[in-house]
């Protein structure tokens, strides 16, 4: 087998494992190229599962997908415990771990020198078809809003402008009447205060005449 065929088989196996992990909703999925680090395998794939049940489901999904793709049956270790399951697929080794175990052992520090970029998820051609009814509904709503534009044009007609001027003229005298009433109240109040002040000296004069009557 040539090198080109071997690389294609590794890529095919890698894609098969990634799809199997995605089917069970694996978390924090990472793929690393380890060809330069070990001669036993060429890829290390690390994925997280939130519980023992999910990690076991991820391992069984990888095993089934790999066998269906025509590769040899993988060897699984740690399936009884479920905290850290290793699925040995030959050229690809899969580590399925719970988050606390993964953080503690930190395999990315050992094998993560060359990460492999992948396009996760398969394309969905049915998405544009599903969007067509939404576009039609939006077009109907846009067509229903056209009469509103006509109303705005009618408001700018000469008849509307003439009525607006008439209402402005009618309301103008009301504003001037209110402003004229304010100074009248202020002027009327001031003379009353002056009259009360002028009456005080008259009281003093009457008080001064009293000693004259006693001497007589």
Q: What is the CATH number of the domain that holds 60?
A: 3.30.460.10
* Structural domain boundaries, residue 56: 3-111
Tell me, yes or no, whether 198 lies in a domain: no
Say if CB 65 and CB 22 are below 8 A apart. Answer: no
- The better pLDDT of the pair 138, 71 is held by 71
Residue 216's pLDDT band, with cuts at 50, 70 and 90, is very low
Tell me, yes or no, whether 91 lies in a domain: yes
- Give the total number of structural domains in the chain: 1
Q: For 147-191, write each residue's pLDDT tens digit.
A: 554 444 454 555 545 555 555 445 444 444 444 445 444 444 444
Tell me, yes or no, whether 104 lies in a domain: yes
Tell me, yes or no, whether 57 lies in a domain: yes
Write down the pTM of the prediction. 0.56
Tell me, yes or no, whether 86 lies in a domain: yes
Tell me, yes or no, whether 94 lies in a domain: yes
pLDDT at 199: 46
Q: For 36-78, write each residue's pLDDT tens digit.
A: 998 899 999 999 999 999 999 999 999 999 999 999 999 999 9
- The better pLDDT of the pair 58, 203 is held by 58
- The better pLDDT of the pair 109, 117 is held by 109
Residue 21 in this model has a pLDDT that exceeds 50: yes
Tell me, yes or no, whether 137 lies in a domain: no
Contacts of 101 (CB under 8 A, 6+ apart): 83, 84
Tell me, yes or no, whether 188 lies in a domain: no
Residue 146's pLDDT band, with cuts at 50, 70 and 90, is low
Residue 142's pLDDT band, with cuts at 50, 70 and 90, is low
82-86, 186-190, 203-207: which has the highest mean pLDDT?
A: 82-86
Say if CB 49 and CB 98 are below 8 A apart. Answer: yes
Please state the rounded mean pLDDT for residues 29-36: 94
Q: In whole angstroms, how far apart are CA 88 and each of 85, 125, 153?
A: 10, 34, 74
Residue 9 in this model has a pLDDT that exceeds 70: yes
């Amino acid at each position: 087998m040539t090198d080109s065929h071997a690389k294609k088989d590794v890529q095919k196996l890698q894609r098969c494992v990634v799809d199997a992990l995605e089917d069970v909703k694996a978390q924090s999925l990472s793929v690393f190229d380890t060809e330069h680090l070990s001669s036993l395998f060429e890829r290390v794939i690390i994925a997280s599962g939130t519980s023992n049940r999910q990690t076991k489901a991820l391992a069984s999904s990888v095993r089934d997908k790999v066998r269906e793709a025509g590769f040899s049956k993988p060897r699984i270790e740690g399936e009884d415990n479920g905290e850290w399951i290793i699925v040995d697929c030959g050229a690809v080794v899969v580590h399925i771990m719970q988050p606390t175990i993964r953080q503690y052992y930190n395999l990315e520090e050992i094998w993560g020198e060359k990460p492999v970029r992948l396009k996760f998820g398969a394309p969905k051609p049915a998405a544009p078809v599903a969007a067509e009814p939404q576009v039609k509904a939006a077009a109907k709503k846009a067509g229903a809003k056209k009469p509103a534009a006509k109303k705005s044009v009618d408001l700018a007609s000469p008849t509307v402008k003439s009525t607006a001027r008439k209402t402005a003229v009618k309301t103008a005298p009301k504003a001037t009447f209110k402003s004229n009433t304010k100074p009248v109240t202020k002027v009327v109040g001031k003379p009353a205060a002056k009259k009360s002040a002028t009456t005080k000296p008259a009281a003093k004069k009457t008080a001064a005449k009293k000693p004259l009557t006693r001497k007589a």
